[in-house]
Chain A
Amino acid sequence: MSTEPIIFQPTPARAAPSSKIGAVAWLRANLFGGWKDTVVTIALLAILLATVPKLIGWLFLRATFWGDADACRLAGGACWPFIIDKFNVLMMGVYPQELGWRPGIAAIALIVLAALTYTNRMRGIVLVVAWAILPFFALIMIGGAFGMREVDQSLWGGLMLSILLALVGVIVSIPLGVMLALGRYYGSPVVKSLCIAFIELLRGVPLITILFMASVMMPLFLPPDMIINNLLRIQIAMILFSSAYMAEVVRGGLQAIPNGQTEASLALGVTRRHTIAFVIVPQALRHVLPPLIGRCIALFKDTSLVIIVGLLDFLGMIKNAALDTSWLGFQAEAYVFAAFVYWSICYSLSLYGRELERRGPSAQKR
């Protein structure tokens, strides 16, 4: 007689009740979880059904992709040949077309550097140096130097100008902002009050008034022979404006560094100045990278204000294009295209900001 060894056979777990899984349950939990939810869902669905198909129809289905203004008017949908026709002007303004490859190279450099930064292939001091050099490289490529034909700044425009203003603005204003923040945080009473006055004054007024000041008033401040061209004056205004905000961001970072860091560094015999430069500031900057990215987005958006003081940036070119008599009546396309470009750039930056927040120093502590 052999006895079968009794082995415990657990009954297989039953599947989750059908009321808790599957599409129906998901719908119930997430869309129809009560009469209020149901009403909201149905109302939203109704709105979306009323608008989205129309929008898609206009954007794509009834849209014209090739042809001229008359073909567009006939089709009734969006008119993309208009954007294609104006593409060069929108990107570069009245910059000489035959030299378009020069801003092109600068743009490629920007994209490559951005890609290397995003994928984390390049880091540390190399990264910082590369970003610090980029605006100068772009300025040289666009403006012309070292034997390249010079292109006057009054011809710079379009998306190129918007990005350039933002890029130079951000990169120059970060060190300025750091200095202001250090002055406000560590400075002697006089330095501190001067820094506070500067920061609060610039943060307290709209950018437009600062731009007006730069374009209208700055020449009055300067000696009669010192003439700075309009673009440079506006760039300086944007840098100063941005540095005040950067300073506040950096100050947040300085406050986040535990005191022990300073004490340890001083105890090791490092001088105060070196402690600030090599211990505090690098850590503080790492802490505030995500809000710094936020400031970059804000500054890029703010460059659109320069049309009010007579520079033709991307939005300015969009407006001009919309008023072209041979393409009358396609304003909506122009604005949709502008929205698409601004949104793509700002949204990718904000995604990167969130990514940094995830890998950043404050995330590791959790």
Chain B
Amino acid sequence: MRNLVKLGAIAAAAMATAGAVSAGTLDKVREAGELACGVSEGVPGFSNPNSDGDWVGLDADFCRAVAAAVLGDASKVRYVPLASKQKVLAVSSGQVDMTSRTTTWTMKRDSAEGVDFTAVVYYDGQGFMVKSDAGITSAKEMDGATVCVTTGTTTELNLADYGRANNLTLEPVVFEGKREAVDAYASGRCDALTTDMSQLAAFRSGFADPSAHTILPEVISKEPLAPLVAHGDNQWKDIVTWVIYGIIAAEELGVTQANVADMAATSTDPNIQRMLGSTGDTGGFIGLESTWMFDAISAVGNYGEIYDRNLTATLGLERGINAQWKDGGVLYAMPIR
């Protein structure tokens, strides 16, 4: 009898909620007053909790930029650490509003897994790190090597492809988390560690003696890293996409965290005026305040500042292809007008 009552109650509760209409992500975020942003479990330079428990890094900064643009307050972010396996499902099932978590843009994910990619925030590529005393200078010399790799990523697929394409026998040891893989590599379980180049640099800088490890020159894959949103909510996708373009455009236009207030007041460049809401209402196109980019840039600065703060200053990463198109890189923000 009690079972019956119990089941009835659950069923009733479920039916009651089933009737509700699905609201857009923007309304949901505004109503909650915070942005649920999926991040990694800890990748230095991209998203990593510092000793005060605050999330810092390039990915975390993009979460803050979106929160600033949408809610006007960059601190209104709830960071949700996600394992590799969870990252796609967490956003497709609505547990987080977006992920900013070193996720590679692939056709399959974009089309068949219920998520949409927004805009690329970092162009990465996969590489290998080996111990310097192994005396290897090229990935092609790695026949027979054991390689530590993280599961649930494009990394493990690229590793298999690379071995196949170059006729190398690479023996994978597959781990659940990046930290486990790094740890196993450090303990000598594997000859090499493979993941994105930027992360290899980050992990290498964490070792007691970074010079004992060499990052091999081969880049074996294209890894365009982009934030994810759920498939089907076009307005929300537009918001995240254009905040990213805005941050990139800000660098191109010379708008920085320090001068954004001046620029908004005094700049005569129509591009800057439009972006910062001095003239026109670009925010209105995507359902935001006209000060959307002003708030975002005030909170985190432009792309160059974000990059320097998180990747150059701490990990010593060069801009490389992640430079503006004018400087020979591939960053190319679409026109905001």
Contact = CB atoms under 8 A, between A and B. Distances in A.
A325 B83 contact: no
A308 B20 contact: no
Interface of A: 94, 96, 152, 154-155, 179-180, 182-183, 187, 191, 194-195, 215-216, 219-220, 222-227, 229-230, 273, 308-310, 319-320, 323, 325, 328
Interface in B65-101: 78-83, 85-86, 89, 93-95
B14 A223 contact: yes
Nearest to A94: B53
Contact of B3 (A187, A226, A320, A328): A187
B163 to A, nearest CB: 28
Contacts of B265: none
5 contacts: A94-B49, A154-B81, A183-B3, A273-B1, A308-B176
B83 A310 contact: yes
A216 B114 CA distance: 14
**Which interface residue of B1, B6, B49, B79 has the most chain A CB atoms within 10 A?**
B1
A155 B53 contact: yes
A308 B177 CA distance: 9
Given A179-B3, A215-B86, A328-B208, A230 B176 contact: no
B165 interface: no
Given A179-B6, A219-B95, A308-B176, 11 more contacts: A183-B3, A219-B94, A222-B14, A222-B17, A223-B14, A224-B22, A225-B22, A229-B95, A310-B41, A320-B179, A323-B182
B62 to A, nearest CB: 19
B78 A152 contact: yes
A219 B89 contact: yes
Given A223-B20, A225-B20, A194 B3 contact: yes
Interface string B1-35: 11110100000001001101111000000000000
Contacts of B4: 191
A216 B89 contact: yes
Q: Secondary structure of the A side of the interface?
A: helix
B254 interface: no
Interface of B: 1-4, 6, 14, 17-18, 20-23, 41, 49, 53, 78-83, 85-86, 89, 93-95, 176, 179, 182-183, 206-208
A215 B1 CA distance: 31
Nearest to A175: B2
A309 B22 CA distance: 27
B16 to A, nearest CB: 9
B236 to A, nearest CB: 14
Given A225-B17, A323-B183, A325-B206, A216 B3 contact: no
B78 A154 contact: yes
Nearest to B208: A328
A229 B78 CA distance: 12
Contacts of B208: 325, 328
A325 B80 CA distance: 23
B21 to A, nearest CB: 8
A230 B95 contact: yes
The 5 A-B pairs of least Cβ separation, nearest first, read A219-B93, A223-B18, A94-B53, A226-B17, A325-B206
Given A154-B78, A325-B206, A195 B86 contact: no
Nearest to A220: B93
A88 to B, nearest CB: 11
